[in-house]
Amino acid sequence: MKIEVIDNFLPSFQFDSIQSFFMGENVAWFWRDNIVFNNEPGDNYQFNTAVYDYGREFNCFPLVQPCILKLRCSSINRIKANLRPKTLFHRRTPYHTDHSEPGNKFTSIFYVNTNNGWTKFKNGRKVKSVANRMVIFPCSLKHRGVSCTDQIKRVVINFNYEL
């Protein structure tokens, strides 16, 4: 299964707007006891905010429209931003898929800030958190997020969609 990594995904003026908003103080972040659905609560926690959820647009949706256009989404299921606070050592989520439904479905992760966290795929590939980087892969590909230890937070935007 193909994993595509695109650096400098957006022009700087579009990326700067996204980064400024999601790294700023005006995002309504919501606590989640667990990161992976149906996983036991514990030391793996995060904050997230909905951008788009099965037909419902939230206030920050217009900011990510350049990503949607460039990804050539025909149908969007969900877009959410995730914030994981800095941890003393790297914490890994369980491997998971975002959707298990059949079809031409993809997951893309947009990295909002550069830090020493990463996304790890079960097939062994590792994608470092680099600002303005997009990783695109079939939604059936198992992956996990890894927290950072060098910045105050790791912020990514997760897209689930069909082509």
Query: 68-95 pLDDT, tens per residue?
Result: 999 999 999 999 999 999 999 999 988 9
Q: Which neighbouring-strand residues pair with 120? A: 126, 144
Q: Provide the Cα torsion 50, 138, 44, 33; round to 10°.
A: 40
Window from 59-73, 92-106, 146-160 with minimum mean pLDDT: 92-106
pLDDT, tens digit, for every residue of 118-144? 999 999 999 999 999 999 999 989 999
> What pLDDT shows up at residue 102?
62
Phi, psi of 65 (to 5 degrees): -60, -35
What is the Cα–Cα distance from 145 to 5, expressed in whole angstroms?
16
> What pLDDT shows up at residue 66?
98
Phi, psi of 12 (to 5 degrees): -60, -35
> What pLDDT shows up at residue 98?
82
> What pLDDT shows up at residue 131?
98
* pLDDT of 59 above 90: yes
> What pLDDT shows up at residue 35?
58
For CA atoms 97, 81, 84, 108, the dihedral sign is positive
The domain locations on the chain are: 8-23+56-152
Closest by Cα among 111, 130, 134 to 3 = 134
98-115 average pLDDT score: 87
Which two tokens mark 111?
Answer: 């990295």
- pTM for this entry: 0.93
> What pLDDT shows up at residue 21?
98
> What pLDDT shows up at residue 122?
95
